Chain A
Amino acid sequence: MLKLLKIEWLKIKGYNAFIILSSFFALGVITVNYIVFIVNKNMLSQASTANLVGVFSPYNFDKTWQTTSYAAGWLLLLPALLLIILITNEFTYRTHRQNIIDGWSRQEFIQVKIVMALIAAILSTILVFLTALTFGLFSGSSFSTYGISHVGYFFLKALSYNMIAVLFAVLIRRTGFAIGVFFIYMGLENFISQLLDVWSLKLRRDQDIDLGSMGDYLPMNSADGLLTFPENPLKSMAKAVMPTDYTWIVLGLAIAYLVLFYWWSTNRILKTDL
């Protein structure tokens, strides 16, 4: 696998889109969190609003993991886009054929792409971990690993987005089209997810059936749903009427979807004409 990855590195190291999108992502994660950090700090320094939000400081330890993961989660579109571009490039240049002709097996071709998706997810998680740690330390609270599971949820979300990107790239093959479908799908899923959430709410209220937030059971939202903004007074008030968050169901579904994406994209490359 290391040999395959070295070849992938030869392909991307001089590629502008790779350099630009990955630096945007890295800078973005830091900047977004920095903005939230500063805004919150300013709010707390004004006595009137400080009373309103209580002693809520999202970058204190035991909150920083969740806040950073949640904020950075919004930027996960960038690595997904990059993966779509890198994979559809192979189809555009027909190098996917040439790689096989030159002596890769079809298995090797798709496997290394999936491993790249995994590596991208790991690297972005490391970045989020370091960012959370830094802001946590700067917030002046003492170190704690409480709530670090949210960094794990971030990893899951990153991997899910990346695997959806791999799947769409492999199925659609054309760069612009694949990116377009990715966005349309995302919008559509969010729309359906909201309808399902409203339905879940009604079920709970009218018939006392608590199925959890069903919007979180869809592919993109399952990884998304686990990443939430830290508990605060406003959120606690809403909680009384909301359906229960069945974390384990959502987590299980997210993993099941990952298996599906893996199987589908691999099968596509192995079984069809290239």
Chain B
Amino acid sequence: MSILSIENLRKDYGPVQALKGVSFDVPKGTVFGILGPNGSGKTTMLGVIADILRPTTGTYRLFDEVPTAEHRRQIGTFLETPNFYHYLSGEKNLRIAAAIKGRGEKDIPRVLEMVNLTQRKDSRFITYSLGMKQRLAIASCLLGDPEVLILDEPTNGLDPVGIAEIRELIKKLHQEGKTIIMASHLLDEVEKVCSHVAILKKGELVATGDVNEILATEDIVEIGASDVTALRNAITQLAGYSRVNENGRLVQLFYPTGTANLESINQHCFSKGVVLNYLNLKKKSLESKFMELTN
């Protein structure tokens, strides 16, 4: 079953196209990361799903059904900023959220405890620090123990300890079989907690699928020889690499992580009569992969 399926979603703000026909599916039980630089359309997309933005064209489905307010009550959603009544206490704000969701009223002490806000539950929201506001918003999402959570940049404004705690929480919820849809511009956050990923760039879907496939890193072997033509010929008979790239006087061979064998490459070239004057193994970083996908 798909928790969320998006079909050809478009959203224009006047002349600006925030989403240019995005489609993908979020399978049940995944931690689904929506990754993209600032302004790539992540929040716009989640806004459409939460029914606070009207799509220009396109449709989406929740739990394989035409979405209604009833579906939203079954999803804990935290979008963009923590939105609460400033003059009410954290606890009273949660009481309102629980009343709207129609569930989780008795859950309030538990979720406050989970985000370490029990001691400040009677303070007015306006007196909270940015991190506390963020944690209250996450607590509100957890009310009623929903099967699906949508979190937009959940670690924004948190200190390193808070970030680690949220990551642990997401992992724990995943182990309990819950589906989590998480937007982030932080690559390592997605890599650390997500099982699936969709990458957005300027409103377009660049890639979607298993996180290990999409964000797979590669080994790059750089080789050089005085006779570049002979080198080029020699490597055509070489096996195991996925693709070749020429970078100035150097030839780059891309291998799946851990499969490049420098010795055998050297031996192969030598046997073809090419003497290497440069041989180097480079690890490709996740960042460069991300840059490659989004630039």
Contacts and interface: CB of A to CB of B under 8 A. Distances in A.
Interface residues of A, number: 27
Nearest to B51: A100
A6 B72 CA distance: 20
Nearest to B126: A93
A95 B82 CA distance: 9
A104 B101 CA distance: 8
A143 to B, nearest CB: 44
Interface string B80-101: 0101111110001001110111
B101 A273 contact: no
B81 A94 contact: yes
Nearest to A98: B83
B117 to A, nearest CB: 17
Contacts of A3: 99
A14 B100 contact: no
A271 B54 CA distance: 8
A10 interface: yes
A14 B81 contact: no
A97 B79 contact: yes
A99 interface: yes
Q: Is the interface of A mostly helix, strand, loop or mixed?
A: helix
B88 A100 contact: no
B96 A100 contact: no
Contact of B83 (A14, A97, A108): A97
B72 A101 contact: yes
Contact of B100 (A99, A272, A273): A99
B273 interface: no
Contact of A274 (B52, B73, B88): B52
Contacts of A89: 85
A103 B97 CA distance: 9
Contacts of A101: 50-52, 72, 77, 79
B53 to A, nearest CB: 5
Contact of A103 (B47, B72, B84, B95): B72
Contact of B69 (A16, A108, A272, A273): A108
Interface in A79-138: 89, 93-95, 97-106, 108
Contact of A102 (B73, B86, B95): B73
Contacts of A272: 54
A239 interface: no
Nearest to B100: A102
A102 B52 contact: no
B99 A15 contact: no
Contacts, number: 75
A107 to B, nearest CB: 9
Contact of B102 (A100, A103, A271): A103
Interface residues of B, number: 29
Interface in B32-55: 47, 50-54
B84 A102 contact: no
B176 interface: no
A268 interface: no
Nearest to A97: B52
A22 B85 CA distance: 20
A102 B102 CA distance: 9
A11 interface: yes
B263 interface: no
B97 A102 contact: yes
Interface in A38-92: 89
Interface in A236-274: 271-274
A104 B99 CA distance: 10
B294 to A, nearest CB: 26
A6 B96 CA distance: 9
A169 to B, nearest CB: 16
Contacts of A100: 50-52, 69, 72
Given A101-B77, A274-B53, A93 B85 contact: yes
A7 interface: yes
Interface in B246-270: none
A-B complex: 6 closest residue pairs judged by Cβ atoms: A103-B73, A98-B83, A105-B69, A94-B83, A102-B100, A274-B52
19 contacts: A10-B92, A10-B95, A10-B96, A11-B96, A15-B87, A93-B86, A95-B83, A98-B84, A100-B51, A100-B72, A101-B79, A102-B73, A102-B140, A103-B72, A103-B101, A103-B102, A106-B51, A108-B69, A274-B53
Interface of A: 3, 6-7, 10-11, 14-16, 89, 93-95, 97-106, 108, 271-274
Given A16-B87, A101-B51, A101-B52, 10 more contacts: A3-B99, A7-B100, A14-B87, A95-B83, A98-B83, A100-B52, A104-B100, A272-B54, A273-B47, A273-B52
